Chains A and B, each alone.
Chain A
Amino acid sequence: MSDRPRETATERAGRLYDELGAGLYRYAVMVLADAAAAEDAVQQVFAALLRQQGAIDNEAHYLRRAIRNECYSMLRRRSLRRDEDQRPLLEPVAADAMDQAERLALERALRGLPPEQREVIHLHVFEGWTFQEVADGCGESINTVAARYRYGLAKLRQMLASR
């Protein structure tokens, strides 16, 4: 636990959003394949954080677990507005490298993956986690994570080849 001066629940939420909010949102966008639902998920996680009275030992771990649980809970409830939110999921890394057709094709292919495969691809490719870190973060074995990654890429290849 850090020697941080005592802060209110709102102050803590603001600090943690500034430190981790963008990463949590990006994760939710990829797992849910829905930008509007991702915002809902982040709001729910921070609403729960505001209700959390006591100190949190590992804040990053707590929030990553919370966003994961919230995303999969939303998927189980099937509370996503399927095909209604068409906001982009991706943006080009290099601003001058925009290939609209490629981006749209890639997004369509990602939306066609199971969320578990999108999750692994996101954490490994976009966040740079090792397979072991992904396995620890997801509570899965490294073999399961590697398999999801392999099958995910294979399905992406199949869908992109057919466009």
Chain B
Amino acid sequence: MEWKKVLRQKKIIGILIGLFFFHIFFFLYTMQVENGQDTAESDIAYMKEEQEKYIARFHESVEEKVKQADSMSVISIFSQTDSFSSRNLERTKEDFKVLLPVQPKVFYDKFLREFFSYSALNGIVVLCGVVVAMALIDENKSGLRSMIFASVNGRGRLVLEKAAALLLWAFIITVCFYGGTLTASTIFFQGELSGCLNLPIQSLSMFSSLPWRVGIGAFLLIYLCYRWMLLFIIMIIVWTLLYSIDHMLLAGGTAGVFGILAYLFYRLVGSSSPLNILKYCSLWYQVSGNGFFTEYKNLNIFSYALNKNSVIIAEWLFLVLLFLGLALLVGNYRYPCISAMGRVKRKLLHISKKVQSFQAGFQEKLSLPGMEYYKVLISQKGIVVIIFVIVVLVYQTDFNSVQLSGKQEMYAAFLDKSMGIPDKESQQEIDDLKKLLKEVDEELYDAFLKNEKGELSDWDLTQIQRKHESYEQHRNFLELLNEQTTYLKTLKQEKNIDGWYVNVYSYNHLLDDGAMLSNLFLIMGIVLLCSGIFSCEKKSGMLPVIRGSVNGRFGIFQKKMQVAFVLTFLLFLTTAALEITSVAVVYGLKGLEAPVQSLSKFSFVPVRCSIGVFFAGLYIMKAMMMFAVAAFTCMLSARTNQKFAIGMSFVLCIPELLVMIGFGFFKYVSIVEVLSVAPFLFQIKNVAVVAAASLLFVLIGVQSVRTGYKKWCVT
């Protein structure tokens, strides 16, 4: 009766029902926005025409595949005995032969196409699954574990019952959400589901590569089973991790690592990579789309051509056995009080006591601020977070030297001599170059004329052509100089600003927008560092004592905020230093005193200031935002507990995570995007807006500090 435990948790049921209605509403809204009047008769006729074309070509296409397998089997590289390619040919041919007698039919399929294409549904279903899995570990939370372990069915059987409950809930969620969406789609598009159940699934063009002879009805059942099993696997992984690790944050972190790995395999491993099995076995691939049914692929496993779907099903079995087995082991053998783990723990405790006595001596000597640093860096493992973030930042920074092209080399040499306001000398150099290139052009022109007249041999003409070609980098360099000179002249004429020749390559790299991952880690680092600053006192029960002491209110508050800001500043300094030195090492940073408008990207800046001052301003804005995030997290830490503070603060990262997985729209509300001030500035092209955004962040920071102060010192 484990499954009923979820029913008893009204909050969970409320979340599930809420998500269901929200999803149905959102699906219908999206369909309305995307399709508009697509259901008009003319559109239906057009879709029908397209479908007819597809069906007319279907047989031809299948026959081509079978024939192509035969024709390829005579090509030596594809037909070597026991090779992957020859097995792939054979397998593909056999698989597609099944489709030869299939007769797809034309029908109004819009409702089915939209249902299968709506990928947001898959994410929502996984979210529901995770919520239910978390709801089924309540005994860990309520401290009943010792009693349950001692009861008759409290070990392995309980684990099996939990697994059965997960299976049942996965089924309920799948049927409700997918069934609900299909029903909503059918009603919205006025489709006739009952009329098409017996038609072959290949009647839908998206499944043209699915080598199964099944009707749409049977396919829908298989599709639901696929989604059901997939959800069950995700739920059992999450549940086993939570159950085994017995520490919400650690288990959540482990699940997060699994999720990130799955995403990276899906995104970074190509379908033709020798490691493509990682891509197809990634749960992200399986969840996010319908590739299981729409993409035909045989994987090379020790030169055997195994269909990716068979590999995926084998992977599922393995995952279920692994995680269920792990849960059973933990359920049966991990004693709540006395266990092998317990003995190890006690030994560790013994050692840690000794360490603690040493620490106590050390702590006694610490000043008040020193003690606060100690709490964050040592007690709350903040030092690990800082090291991790710094390692990520260093890893993200590329110090490798660049092999400059001839054009870039000449440009750098030109700037060494002529950096500054365009003057006679720089103009002379440009004119000399123009003259040289003109002479080379004329030489080639003359050579062609002489060759036509027979005065120059083909060999000599070829040599002059080669000479002309060897000046290609000079021409590119002149083009770059002309581009910059024209811009600087326009700047002078239109805005009366004496722009400089400055190295646009170096500043462009400093303004690069490729630092989103670093920014994401920065924010996460700040959140993890600051989330326990205040809440740790509540957790340890020291809050009433601190409040009753002489400096316990404002004094401690001040010191804690100081720690938060100093550590945030340390992370800011690290990121800024890495960004600046990586560019300075490769290109050098000269011309910092030039007007900022010398860089064409900043032509819109209304104030007169130097590049150095402007960049300092950009970095100050970045620092402000980081301080605001720190203050916001501290405020949450003062008002709530650490878990809530982390949870709420991580909400700040969600838009960027959505951007990373393809929802580009969210970049407009992502703080991570704004944290790279310059790219944000280029998009907006308005310094006032960015200054206002920074001011807003400062206000949020100040308000957060005030709110935190009130909670800590006044109430």
Q: Do A and B come from the same complex?
A: no
Q: Which residues of B contact A (CB under 8 A)?
A: none
Q: Which residues of A contact B (CB under 8 A)?
A: none
